[in-house]
Amino acid sequence: MGMRETIDQMRQMMSQELEKVCDKQTLEALRVRVLGKKGELTALLRGMGQLSPEERPAAGQLINDAREKFTAMLEARQDALRAMERATALQRENIDVTEPAPLPPAGSAHPVNIVMREMVDCFTGMGFEVVEGPEIELDHYNFELMNIPKNHPARDAQDTFYIDDNIVLRTHTSPMQARTMLTRKPPIRIICPGRVFRSDEADATHSPVFHQMEGLVVDRDVTMADLRGTLNAFAERVYGKGITTRFRPSFFPFTEPSTEVDLTCSACHGKGCRVCKGTGWIEVLGAGMVNPRVLEMCGIDSTVYSGFAFGIGLDRIAMMRYAVPDLRLMYEGDARFLGQFR
């Protein structure tokens, strides 16, 4: 085989091997194998001694060209390897500062809060404003201004937690009626969601802490029809078409006339079921026309203005909505229960 062919084979072998090389060590090994002291090309150079003096210059030229060529090939591969290394390093070290951080596990809204937010949405949509008041309340607002004087029998019905003679845990959200009327002028349109307290023994339907949402409208010419229309709109918006209200006569010292209001049972749509104990109705709120005495005590001229008020029991509604069988579940904070309301 002539020298040209041998070199050609060497070149072919090199380009095949170079393809496969992917680290410096193998590359160096290949260099040594061809260009090293005992390398294949070096051997060719050594063999030149056996050639005739006429052949030597051409052979020397061939071998030198080959050495240059092979060196260039090795260098090209080395450059490519470096570039690859850099690329992977960059890839590995790359920090995408715009990538959103992993979110901590999300909690879930409490069923009472879900119901409360829906109602707030509904009433603010009708022009009501949300106000909040203290849970530790003066007897004056909780009772006196609500037309429940000391020694009034209605106080018994409220099972009050007294802090002292004048301070109580509010037994209803109604004191916010008085606080609002004393600080604002009609037209007044407010709702007040919040916690209320009564010293009841806890059982499936009672808890010493529960939730109400008070509503109050005071303006000229407000009538019972406005109350009915507002509550019907609320029933339909929050519970869907076909859900309406039923008013039953009742008594509250701060409203006259007073009514207890039932909603069509949303579990059976009024047909009668276990949830509504076969009646087709669920009692969820007390309401009425603001007693003129209350208006007057709160500095509003009852000959010019009238109003309506309502107090919705939020826990009852949440229980009905989610078919929760025991009120205590709402307050035990069991994650297995709460996690169901995602």
Question: Would you tell me which residues interact with ligand PHE (CB under 6 A)?
Answer: 172, 174, 252, 255, 286-288, 309-311
Alpha carbon distance 244, 43 (integer Å): 104
**Residue number with the smallest Cβ distance to ligand PHE:** 311
Closest distance of CB 194 from ligand PHE, Å: 12
Nearer to ligand PHE, 41 or 227 (CB): 227
Alpha carbon distance 166, 174 (integer Å): 17
Nearer to ligand PHE, 212 or 266 (CB): 212
Specify the pairing of strand 188-197 against strand 129-130.
parallel
Cα angle 282, 215, 185 (rounded to 5 degrees) comes to 165
Closest distance of CB 339 from ligand PHE, Å: 31
Nearer to ligand PHE, 174 or 306 (CB): 174
Closest distance of CB 98 from ligand PHE, Å: 52
Closest distance of CB 212 from ligand PHE, Å: 6
Nearer to ligand PHE, 287 or 319 (CB): 287
Instruction: Give the DSSP per-residue string, 271-334.
Output: S--TTTTTSSEEEEEEEEEEPHHHHHHTT--TTT-EEEEEEEEHHHHHHHHHT-S-TTHHHH--
Specify the pairing of strand 188-197 against strand 209-219.
antiparallel
Nearer to ligand PHE, 252 or 281 (CB): 252
Closest distance of CB 245 from ligand PHE, Å: 14
Closest distance of CB 274 from ligand PHE, Å: 25
Nearer to ligand PHE, 81 or 154 (CB): 154
Instruction: Give the DSSP per-residue string, 216-279.
Output: EEEETT--HHHHHHHHHHHHHHHH-TT--EEEEEEEETTEEEEEEEEEE-TTTTTS--TTTTTS
